[in-house]
Amino acid sequence: MKPPPFEYHAPRDLDEALDTLARLAERGKVLAGGQSLIPMLNMRLTAPEHLVDVNRLAELDTVETEDGGLRVGALARHSRVGRAGHPLLRQALKLVAHPVIRNRGTVVGSLVHADPAAELPAVLALLGGSVRLARPGRTRDVPAAEFFLGPLESAVEPGELAVSAFFPALPPGAGCAFLEVARRHGDFALAGVCALVTPEGHARAACVGVGPVPIVVDVSERAPDWAAAARAVREAAEPDDDIHATAEYRGHLVGVLAERAFREAAASAKA
Amino acid sequence: MRRHDITLVVNGVARQASVPARRLLSDCLRHDLGLTGTHVGCEHGVCGCCTVLLDGQPVRSCLTFAVSVDGHEITTVEGLGGDGDSLSPVQQAFAECHALQCGFCTPGFLCTVTALLRDNPAPTDEEVVEGISGNLCRCTGYQNIVKAVHRAAELMAE
Ligand SMILES: Cc1cc2nc3c(=O)[nH]c(=O)nc-3n(C[C@H](O)[C@H](O)[C@H](O)COP(=O)(O)OP(=O)(O)OC[C@H]3O[C@@H](n4cnc5c(N)ncnc54)[C@H](O)[C@@H]3O)c2cc1C
Ligand code: FES
Ligand code: FES
């Protein structure tokens, strides 16, 4: 249960970090909060040659209100982002691990890690947000729909650093809810659903734990028949069996959670 | 592999160590600095035994590299009490309420609860349970730990 040896780099500013990552390319890996990477190292599930620690880049420790949403820097920890006044992020972050883990883990790190059961990728996908990736002399914004490629696989290329993520604000008057079922409090969910309902009757959901990437389903045509909307979500889900639960049970959970989440979101939407 | 010379301010005292990059903060505290009060249960973030305060915030020392926190302040269970053998209010409440049996989980609970009560001096039952939900105890059944948190809040309010 000890990490394998690696070469350690501690850049002092963003330029130095980008240069280091570009030079190392495939051989380098970013260390952010370490709350996913260090368990994997301790369990010897990964053995990168070089780690580039971004914890000294104070310029990435930012949470800013920007045109129509919240821009979260790569070093902003879960606990801070949960207090930033975005209702869906606040609800989602309460479900991410435990308070102590949230003091260290970063929101952007969770997006890049792209665990299929993680809550934040679903929030980014539901809201249609994006992730900003940088390498020396080049920056690109990747929309959520193109960012999550598969289990533990995101669009970040070797040598790139995710510098921030953009979470659009909820549409005016919209209500939201994030519900999930986990074996134990703070564990990754067996299945989860976050839902968004606008006063005009637009409704959509994103599911976690029931597919390789977050699955977004627009159910505006069924609203406000939430039972029918939930059936549509369940049909879109692609659950798998694993040691924690069967595919059938996960599918069942998604249906039940979706209906509850739509009702809760609709109730909190302002007419 | 290269070694790194680091300085950690542990319980108010600047301590130097020369560590490989892969040294976990938990192992640095226990093996390099001889502070064995911080316990190690699972080494993947689940049990909470290794929780210490990093610049005042509770974190998992098993999920932190010592080099990453070079120059920062760490408080371990050894640093919670006052001078000599005196106990902090949280430690005193744990002793009074029988909130430990084997004691393996206790250092993690004490660090977590110390920060919890600093940020929220009069938590509800629900807030206490949420606050300690990341710390596992195989002995007590948690009831007395919850009682001890409320008792510590009382002691601190006196
Ligand atoms: C006990 C426990 C329970 C947990 N439960 C949950 C849960 O219920 N839900 C949940 O969502 N998460 C959970 N987590 C994971 C936690 O949310 C992590 O904080 C998060 O997944 C990763 O963020 P990090 O900053 O710690 O990233 P790290 O662990 O540092 O990195 C994770 C991966 O992303 C890469 N990376 C990180 N930042 C960048 C960047 N800026 N640019 C490029 N690459 C980057 C790293 O190279 C690595 O591959 C849990 C963790 C633990 C230990
Ligand atoms: S030893 Fe760190 S959480 Fe278990
Ligand atoms: S007292 Fe034994 S594990 Fe908590």
Contacts of A34 in chain B (CB under 8 A): 63-65, 68
Q: Does A7 sit within 8 Å of B134, measured CB to CB? A: no
The residues pairing with A72 across neighbouring beta strands, listed in sequence order, are A63, A165
CA of A198: how far to CAs of A130, B30, B122, in Å? Answer: 21, 54, 37
Alpha-carbon gap, residue A246 to A190, rounded angstroms: 10
**Is residue B97 domain-shared with residue B147, that is, in the same domain?**
yes
Question: Last residue of some domain: B79, B112, B129?
Answer: B79
Best of A6, A98, A183 to disrupt the B interface by mutation (most B CBs within 10 Å)? Answer: A98
Q: What are phi and psi of B13, to 5 degrees?
A: -115, 130
**Is residue B68 domain-shared with residue B96, that is, in the same domain?**
no
**Is residue B66 domain-shared with residue B117, that is, in the same domain?**
no
CA of A26: how far to CAs of A13, A23, A57, in Å? Answer: 21, 9, 22
Q: Best mutation site among A9, A30, A102, A132 for ligand 1, i.e. most ligand atoms within 8 A of its Cβ? A: A30
ipTM of the assembly? 0.95
**Is residue B70 domain-shared with residue B99, that is, in the same domain?**
no
H helix or E strand, kind and range, residue B16: strand B13-20
Nearest by CB: A99 against B20, B45, B134: B134
In a domain, B63, yes or no: yes
* Spatial contact of A43 and A54, defined as CB atoms under 8 Å apart: no
Whether the predicted pLDDT of A208 surpasses 90 = yes
Position B73, amino acid: E
Strand pairing category for A63-66 and B3-10: unpaired
In a domain, B126, yes or no: yes
Q: State the smallest CA–CA distance between residue B62 and chain A in angstroms.
A: 8
Q: What are phi and psi of B12, to 5 degrees?
A: 85, 0
pLDDT of residue A200: 93
Alpha-carbon gap, residue A163 to A64, rounded angstroms: 13
Question: Last residue of some domain: B79, B114, B132?
Answer: B79
- What residue numbers bound the domain in which B144 lies? 89-157
CA of A9: how far to CAs of A30, A50, B61, B68, in Å? Answer: 10, 7, 20, 10
Alpha-carbon gap, residue A75 to A105, rounded angstroms: 9
Q: What is the pLDDT of residues A170-183, one digit of tens each?
A: 999 999 999 999 98
pLDDT of residue B98: 97
Q: What is the pLDDT of residues A216-244, one digit of tens each?
A: 999 999 999 999 999 999 999 999 999 99
**Is residue B101 domain-shared with residue B129, that is, in the same domain?**
yes
Q: Look up residue B134 and give its two tokens.
A: 């990341």
In a domain, B139, yes or no: yes
**Is residue B72 domain-shared with residue B95, that is, in the same domain?**
no
**Is residue B95 domain-shared with residue B62, that is, in the same domain?**
no
Alpha-carbon gap, residue A168 to B61, rounded angstroms: 34
The residues pairing with A134 across neighbouring beta strands, listed in sequence order, are A139, A161
In a domain, B72, yes or no: yes
Number of domains composing chain B: 2
CATH number for the domain that contains residue B101: 1.10.150.120
**Is residue B110 domain-shared with residue B151, that is, in the same domain?**
yes
Alpha-carbon gap, residue A21 to A159, rounded angstroms: 5
- Listed as ranges, residues in chain B with pLDDT below 70 are none
Q: Does A55 sit within 8 Å of B134, measured CB to CB? A: no
Question: Last residue of some domain: B79, B109, B144?
Answer: B79
pLDDT of residue B83: 80
Q: What is the pLDDT of residues B38-50, one digit of tens each?
A: 999 999 999 999 9
Distance (angstroms) between ligand 3 centre and the Cα of B137 equals 5
Residue A228, phi-psi category: left (phi > 0), alpha (psi -120 to 50), beta (remainder): alpha
In a domain, B37, yes or no: yes
**Is residue B105 domain-shared with residue B73, that is, in the same domain?**
no
**Is residue B75 domain-shared with residue B105, that is, in the same domain?**
no
CA A148 from chain center: how many Å?
A: 9
CATH number for the domain that contains residue B24: 3.10.20.30
Please list, residue by residue across B107-138, b when 16 or more beta carbons sit within 10 angstroms of its beta carbon and e when fewer do.
bbbbbbbbbbbeeeeebeeeebebbbbbbbbe
pLDDT of residue A68: 94
Q: What is the pLDDT of residues A114-146, one digit of tens each?
A: 999 999 999 999 999 999 999 999 999 999 999
Q: Does B58 sit within 8 Å of A98, measured CB to CB? A: no
Whether the predicted pLDDT of A57 surpasses 70 = yes
* Spatial contact of B157 and B123, defined as CB atoms under 8 Å apart: no
Alpha-carbon gap, residue B53 to B62, rounded angstroms: 13
Pick the residue whose CA is nearest to atom 46 on ligand 1. Answer: A30
Which band of pLDDT confidence, cut at 50, 70 and 90, is reported for residue A271? Answer: low
Whether the predicted pLDDT of A75 surpasses 70 = yes
Nearest to B109 by CA among B149, B55, B157: B149
In a domain, B15, yes or no: yes
Q: Maximum distance among all alpha carbons in chain A?
A: 58
**Is residue B96 domain-shared with residue B124, that is, in the same domain?**
yes
In a domain, B84, yes or no: no
Strand pairing category for A7-9 and A50-53: parallel
Q: Look up residue A174 and give its two tokens.
A: 């919209």
Which band of pLDDT confidence, cut at 50, 70 and 90, is reported for residue A163? Answer: very high
Closest listed ligand to the CA of B51: 2
Eight-state DSSP code of residue B61? G
**Is residue B8 domain-shared with residue B74, that is, in the same domain?**
yes
Average pLDDT score over residue span A198-216 = 96
Average pLDDT score over residue span A7-32 = 98
CA B69 from chain center: how many Å?
A: 16
Provide, rounded to the nearest whole percent, the portion of chain A with pLDDT above 90: 96
pLDDT of residue B85: 84
Average pLDDT score over residue span A35-46 = 97
